[in-house]
Amino acid sequence: MTIPPSASAPARDVGDARLPLRPELADEAPYGAPQLDVPVLLNVNENPYPPSEAVVATIAEHVAAAARGLNRYPDRDFDALRADLAGYLARESGVGLAPEQIWAANGSNEVMLHLLQAFGGPGRTAVSFAPTYSMYPEYARDSHTRWVTGRRQSDFTLDVEHAVETIERERPSVVLLASPNNPTGTALPLETVEAVLDAAARVEVADAPEADGRRAGAVVVVDEAYAEFRRPGTPSALELLAGHPHLAVSRTMSKAFAAAGLRLGYLAASRALVDALRVVRLPYHLSAVTQAAARGALAHRDELLGQVQTLRAERDDLVAWLRAVRHRGEALQVAESDANFVLFGTFADRHAVWRGLLDRGVLIRETGPDGWLRVSVGTPSETAAFRDALTDVLAELED
């Protein structure tokens, strides 16, 4: 819920200083998955394959060219990068977009924050459906937006009737949907997204501008950070953009492009929606080096997407293996995944399983509903290490 502004924020001890921290931040801790030095890192859904020497060489060439002009501010609207991203989406999803329909920022986290800054805020509400990405409520908090979560079904799909009822009741200005969903890997059918879009269009945001006698409806954001890993035949919400000016589809270069260290997220939307984000962005928010490195990586899109095919196959093999594992006489539950990770369980003491894996040099993520764990898809050798470690841990827990 929205926390009203306080005339006198409580101070917080930080060493010898007492800082006037915002009240709603007083007991908060910074977001972050554990970063531990272990042999097998399968906890943050990274692409396990580093860029090839050819990709590195192209990025280096682009960055060197940008470095020669670092005395100047970068292209504020990064027109060339937007054109490259539009071209990539046309190739990947078959949806033609103008460069002006693309927006980018320092990771999809900043893209999401821009969306909440533009369309959320005091007196407004954002809605999503749990379990889902744990950063969403933090974007709402940081933009003073009231946060409401509905529920997903037991198989982690979205109950359309419940979603529509939640939107009608809460009257949000922003609806956040992840597809594939993190941490479950669940993709949304386009029919479900369309039902949410229709319900969001019927919302009249109380303080929004009027047109034709009614106020604007809610913005629907479909977060497709893992979209490239979806199984064949699974559509992208990009296909709905032409008929829905309040839809934004977010992507990232962190996963499929093996560029988590680059920090480049982007979205596709109507020109009007993108122009609204230009109002809240900081000046020159994308450095010349970031723009150059991203364009260098995009030049190798075919090579990098070929790598995605390998990871899809590894994921499907991992799902099949996990479903054959038995613990305390029962087969493990494994969520259907269209991402580069797998959610599996359930365990009476999931922390004991997580700790046992860590003791054997394998780091996965203790996240999602109680009893579940999430493992990223790694290289064949990393996946083999995870399988061996999990087999040992579960045998130990049986004793």
State the pLDDT at residue 213. Answer: 67
Domains of the chain: 40-51+303-398 (3.90.1150.10), 53-299 (3.40.640.10)
Distance CA 273, CA 178 (A): 19
State the pLDDT at residue 15. Answer: 54
State the pLDDT at residue 2. Answer: 35
φ, ψ (nearest 5 deg) of residue 341: -150, 165
Residue 384 tokens read as 């083999």
Q: Are 151 and 158 in contact (CB under 8 A)?
A: no
3-state helix, strand, coil in the chain (%, to 5): 40, 15, 40
pTM over 0.75: yes
State the pLDDT at residue 9. Answer: 43
Long-range contacts of 377-382 (CB under 8 A, 24+ apart): 377/42, 377/48, 377/311, 377/314, 377/315, 377/318, 377/340, 377/341, 377/342, 378/40, 378/42, 378/48, 378/314, 379/48, 379/49, 379/314, 380/314, 382/40, 382/42, 382/48
State the pLDDT at residue 74. Answer: 98
**Low pLDDT (below 50) residues in the chain:** 1-11
Residue 278 tokens read as 């230009």
